Structure 1
Amino acid sequence: MSKKLVLLMTMILCAIFLAACNSEEGNAAKAKSNEPLVMVWYPNESGSEMAGARDAFGRIFEEATGRKVEQKLTTDYAIAIESIASGNAQVAFMGPQGYIEANNKSADVQPIVVPSGSSGTLEDAVYYSWLAVPKEKADGYKVNGEFALDTIAGKKFSFVSASSTSGFKVPSSSIIAHFTKQDAYKALKQDDLIEANALFPEVLFGDSHQGSAVNMMMGRADVAAFCDTCVSAYVELVEGKENTAGAIYRVKDDAAAPFNNLTGEEFVLISSTPVLNSPFVVNTSALTEEEITKLTELLISDETTNDQTIFVPKDSGEIGLFYKSGDERFVKVEDTWFDPIRKLSE
């Protein structure tokens, strides 16, 4: 057989092989695009009262990708983190610390957007980490008439989850920074706060921000860490300036579970710390580049910004994940924006 004929046959066989491979890849991509898009939620957003808000996002993701959306609800932060890191879920809404943990597990997990502040930009894209106590006991946390962190020593403390930004990472960093200046606690480490320690004789975890708040109001804990946005549907400001020490909040009369048996109960903030807003993230290995682009563009669009099922008017009385009091919208964000939260673990 001549060399030219051998070469020709080789080229034909290569072409057939490549065509077969492309066909298999194309069929796999087609099959993947026909599978449900799995959206995983933290426990904070998994309650029945949040169903309408979750469904609103389901409609957006379905419009962007053309895929049926499957909502995956969780009772544990770790489940949500593992789901997005493994690619079993393709989209997640999670706190900065949870995102960092998922990204550490898989670099394929990347943020796409965060809700802005009232300015419509990243400049004020923050929410707040609270330390709260029952109203009737609030004076016991003051020194010379001012709330002081020293007063929480020896108290039963409730966090949210070790993977929570505002319910553990931020408050524990502040607590360690404050108390390690004192000889009695100079050896205390952030990880020590996960269980009973020299500072707190008992440590509880609520597994959600709502759960941590309930631990405090039910008397299981003296002090609780949780965030403003996760309890905003259940409580209302009755005195003081919102998100500041001394502000008094009351559980609404029509509050849903787990606050339905605590209506009228009041608590006081003894500390409030701004935290970077939480991102929507995707697993880039489980979605196509085109799908990610479409998701991002639809989230930051004016259509979504003006959708009152997504950004609920603040004074409407309706329950939502995000509220609009100014120019709130979703804005693009990159991994490096969360570096200040990473530094809390250094």
Structure 2
Amino acid sequence: MKKIVTLLMSIAIGVATIIGLAGCSDKKTSDTLTIVWYPNESGGDLEAARNEIGDIITKATGKKIEHMLTTDYAIAIEALANDTAAIGFMGAEGYIEAHTKNENVIPLAIASGKSGTVDDAVYYSWISVPTENQDEYKKDGNYTLDNIVGKKMSFVSNSSTSGFKVPTSGIISYFSKQDKWKDLTKDDLIQGGSDKFFSDVLYGGSHQGSAVNLVTGKADVAAFCDANLFNYVDVVSGKMNEVGTVYKIKDNAAEPFNEMAGKKFTAITSTPVLNAPFVMNTSLISEADQTKLIEAFTSDETTNNAKIFLPKDSTEKGFFKKEGKEKFLEVEDAWFDPIRNM
């Protein structure tokens, strides 16, 4: 009887192992890879840019591509963490959340800065106000955060790096020096109310959505970034990404700005943020394909692809501009520690 039980147990374990290995193998040998996109990159005007990224992946791996569009940061993060999506493009905060939930989610590549290195691989988080009200946020001729207290504030999502994590860290750092706000925390900024730091707090769901909240008057102050707004705005005065620069919605701006041409806002803060990574879920991608993807993203062919890195005078919509030696670079998880430690 003992021999029979032992034999049956051995068979059961063997079958379970085979099933487990088959399941793992099936995931990595699938002929389709799903790319999940944040709401910022899910708009119809960016379809060509998404497809160009998909083409790079298909050419490198031979896999078909499915684009998973989202309306919520959390959906995109969960898709990567729960093995629904193989590749994503997200801010550092979203990547950190996904990696914490699933250590198989790791960086694939980031866009470099103008130098072609990680030294200036940053974009900018803005806290902005309507230009007609900009003087309310000045003290001794300089822009200040003092008067944002009690205002209606718009963030992007509490999983957004430049649309929440960085601006709230900046607000806390600034106000915690004052006795009244010395115990201010992120939790105090998530919701508004008569007894709160802000009278009301809105979430745009995307950087575009947060900007819409500002220019339509739903919010007095809003946080969003340059990387998701450059397709829709022109500089009216000042220089791109400087404090005090005035921006205007373009006359031919695509949705959601198509009925807001000419609306102006002023950036009263502009904070550099580590560039957003493309990430990959290694439980869904073989080691060979992981290597191929890194090689494809960092190749000269991709670097010189004008549909990926848009020339300055380009009228196309995309994710990255070519203002110098921009290209994709491979980075390790530890590169995002400054955001992780905020």
TM value normalised by structure 1: 0.91
Letter in 2 for 1:101: E
Bigger drift between 51-60 and 149-158 goes to: 149-158
**Alignment partner of 1:49: what SS?**
helix
Deviations 1:253-276 (A, max 9, x none): 100011011001111110100000
**Alignment partner of 2:273: what SS?**
strand
Percentage identity across paired residues of the two chains:
54
Distance (whole Å) between structure 2 residues aligned to residue 24 and residue 155 of structure 1: 55
Letter in 1 for 2:223: A
Distance (whole Å) between structure 2 residues aligned to residue 56 and residue 185 of structure 1: 47
1:341 to 320, 330, 339: 339
The answer on whether the counterparts of 1:33 and 1:67 sit within 8 Å (CA) in structure 2 is no
| 1:232 and 2:230 aligned | yes
TM superposition shift of 1:87: 1.0
The answer on whether the counterparts of 1:40 and 1:91 sit within 8 Å (CA) in structure 2 is yes
The answer on whether the counterparts of 2:105 and 2:280 sit within 8 Å (CA) in structure 1 is yes
- Where does residue 55 of structure 1 map in the other structure? 51
Change over 3 Å in CA distance of 1:28–1:76 after alignment to 2: closer
Spell out the pairing of 1:72-91 with structure 2 (5 A cutoff).
72-91=68-87
Letter in 2 for 1:299: F
Change over 3 Å in CA distance of 1:337–1:27 after alignment to 2: closer
Distance (whole Å) between structure 1 residues aligned to residue 19 and residue 123 of structure 2: 48
TM superposition shift of 1:35: 3.4
1:103 to 92, 99, 103: 99
**Alignment partner of 2:341: what SS?**
helix
Deviations 1:86-105 (A, max 9, x none): 11000000000000011111
**Alignment partner of 1:249: what SS?**
strand
- Where does residue 7 of structure 1 map in the other structure? none
Change over 3 Å in CA distance of 1:23–1:167 after alignment to 2: closer
1:305 to 285, 303, 306: 303
- Where does residue 161 of structure 1 map in the other structure? 157
- Where does residue 326 of structure 2 map in the other structure? 328
- Where does residue 6 of structure 2 map in the other structure? none
| 1:131 and 2:88 aligned | no
1:64 to 20, 43, 60: 60
Deviations 1:97-127 (A, max 9, x none): 0000111111111012100001000000000
Deviations 1:226-250 (A, max 9, x none): 0001011000111101101110111
Distance (whole Å) between structure 2 residues aligned to residue 282 and residue 170 of structure 1: 24
The answer on whether the counterparts of 2:188 and 2:197 sit within 8 Å (CA) in structure 1 is no
- Where does residue 3 of structure 2 map in the other structure? none
Q: Which runs of 4+ in 1 moved over 6 A?
A: 21-24
- Where does residue 43 of structure 1 map in the other structure? 39
- Where does residue 200 of structure 1 map in the other structure? 198
Distance (whole Å) between structure 2 residues aligned to residue 160 and residue 28 of structure 1: 36
The answer on whether the counterparts of 2:308 and 2:318 sit within 8 Å (CA) in structure 1 is yes
| 1:144 and 2:140 aligned | yes
Distance (whole Å) between structure 2 residues aligned to residue 40 and residue 314 of structure 1: 27
The answer on whether the counterparts of 2:27 and 2:284 sit within 8 Å (CA) in structure 1 is no
- Where does residue 220 of structure 1 map in the other structure? 218
- Where does residue 251 of structure 1 map in the other structure? 249
- Where does residue 117 of structure 1 map in the other structure? 113
Letter in 1 for 2:234: E
TM value normalised by structure 2: 0.92
Change over 3 Å in CA distance of 1:265–1:290 after alignment to 2: same
The answer on whether the counterparts of 1:111 and 1:279 sit within 8 Å (CA) in structure 2 is yes
Bigger drift between 287-296 and 183-192 goes to: 183-192
Structure 2: any 5+ residue segments left out of the alignment?
1-9
TM superposition shift of 1:33: 2.5
Distance (whole Å) between structure 2 residues aligned to residue 341 and residue 23 of structure 1: 40
Change over 3 Å in CA distance of 1:23–1:189 after alignment to 2: closer
TM superposition shift of 1:194: 1.0
Cα RMSD of the aligned pairs, angstroms, is 2.1
Letter in 2 for 1:281: V
TM superposition shift of 1:302: 0.2
Deviations 1:4-28 (A, max 9, x none): xxxxxxxxxx9xx99xx88995797
Distance (whole Å) between structure 2 residues aligned to residue 115 and residue 185 of structure 1: 37
Distance (whole Å) between structure 2 residues aligned to residue 304 and residue 59 of structure 1: 11
TM superposition shift of 1:315: 1.8
**Alignment partner of 1:113: what SS?**
strand
- Where does residue 172 of structure 1 map in the other structure? 168
**Alignment partner of 1:229: what SS?**
coil
